[in-house]
Amino acid sequence: MTTLTDRLRAELDEFRRTGVYKHLNHLDGPQGARAVMEGHGEVVILSSNNYLGLCDVPEVVEAGKAALDRFGAGTGSVRFICGTFTVHRELEAELAALVGTEASLTYVSCWSANEGLAPTLLGEQDAVISDRLNHASIIDEVRLAKAITKCQTAVYEHSDMADLRAKLEQFRGCRHVLVITDGVFSMEGDVARLPDILELARRHGAAVAVDDSHATGFWGWRGRATAHHWGWLGLVYTDTPPLAMAVGGGGGGFTAGSAAVCDYLAQRSRPMLFSNALPPTVAGSAMASVRYLVARPERVARLHENAAWFRGALLEAGFKPLPGETPIIPVILGETARAITMSGMLLDEGVFVTGFGYPVVPQGHARVRCQISAAHTKDDLERALAAFKKVGAKLGVI
Ligand SMILES: Cc1ncc(COP(=O)(O)O)c(C=O)c1O
Query: If you average pLDDT over residues 142-146, what whole number do you get?
Result: 98
Q: Which pLDDT does position 214 carry in this prediction?
A: 87
Percent over 90 (pLDDT), the chain: 69
C-alpha 47 to ligand 1 mean position (Å) = 14
Q: Is the dihedral of CA 369, 370, 373, 376 positive or negative?
A: positive
Q: Which pLDDT does position 222 carry in this prediction?
A: 59
Question: Of ligand 1's atoms, which has the minimum distance to the CA of residue 112?
Answer: 11
Ligand 1: which residues within 6 Å by Cβ? 109-111, 114, 135, 137, 182, 186, 211, 213-214, 245, 251, 253
Q: Which pLDDT does position 329 carry in this prediction?
A: 97
Question: Which is it for strands 103-107 and 253-257: parallel, antiparallel or unpaired?
Answer: antiparallel
Q: Which pLDDT does position 241 carry in this prediction?
A: 38
Q: 155 near 132, Cβ under 8 Å? A: yes
The alpha carbon torsion through 136, 142, 146, 148 (nearest 10 deg) reads 80
- Residues in Cβ contact with 364 at an 8 Å cutoff, skipping those fewer than 6 apart: 334, 335
CB burial readout 337-370, b (16+ within 10 A) else e: ebbbbbbebbbebbbbbbbbbeebbeeebbbbbb
Question: Which is it for strands 127-131 and 177-182: parallel, antiparallel or unpaired?
Answer: parallel
271 three-class SS: helix
C-alpha 111 to ligand 1 mean position (Å) = 6
Query: If you average pLDDT over residues 160-164, what whole number do you get?
Result: 98
Percent over 70 (pLDDT), the chain: 92
Q: What's the pLDDT tens digit per position in 81-137?
A: 999 999 999 999 998 888 888 899 999 888 899 999 999 999 999 999 999 999 999
Question: Of ligand 1's atoms, which has the minimum distance to the CA of residue 109?
Answer: 10
Q: φ, ψ for residue 172 (rounded to 5)? A: -55, -35
Query: Is residue 245 scored above 60 in pLDDT?
Result: no
C-alpha 286 to ligand 1 mean position (Å) = 15
The pLDDT mean for the chain works out to 89
Q: Which of 64-78, 129-143, 195-209, 244-258 has the lowest mean pLDDT?
A: 244-258
C-alpha 250 to ligand 1 mean position (Å) = 11
Q: Which pLDDT does position 274 carry in this prediction?
A: 96
Residue 35 gets which letter from DSSP? E
Which residue out of 49, 50, 109, 111 has the highest number of ligand 1 atoms within 8 Å of its CB and is therefore the one to mutate? 111
Which stretch of DSSP H or E encloses residue 355? strand 355-356
Is the pTM above the cut of 0.75? yes
Whole-angstrom distance, CA of residue 103 vs CA of residue 144 = 25
Question: Of ligand 1's atoms, which has the minimum distance to the CA of residue 185?
Answer: 1
C-alpha 252 to ligand 1 mean position (Å) = 9
- Residues in Cβ contact with 30 at an 8 Å cutoff, skipping those fewer than 6 apart: 55, 56, 61
C-alpha 249 to ligand 1 mean position (Å) = 10
Question: Of ligand 1's atoms, which has the minimum distance to the CA of residue 134?
Answer: 1
Q: What's the pLDDT tens digit per position in 269-304?
A: 999 999 999 999 999 999 998 899 889 889 889 999
Q: What's the pLDDT tens digit per position in 24-81?
A: 999 998 889 999 999 999 999 999 988 989 989 999 999 999 999 999 999 999 999 9
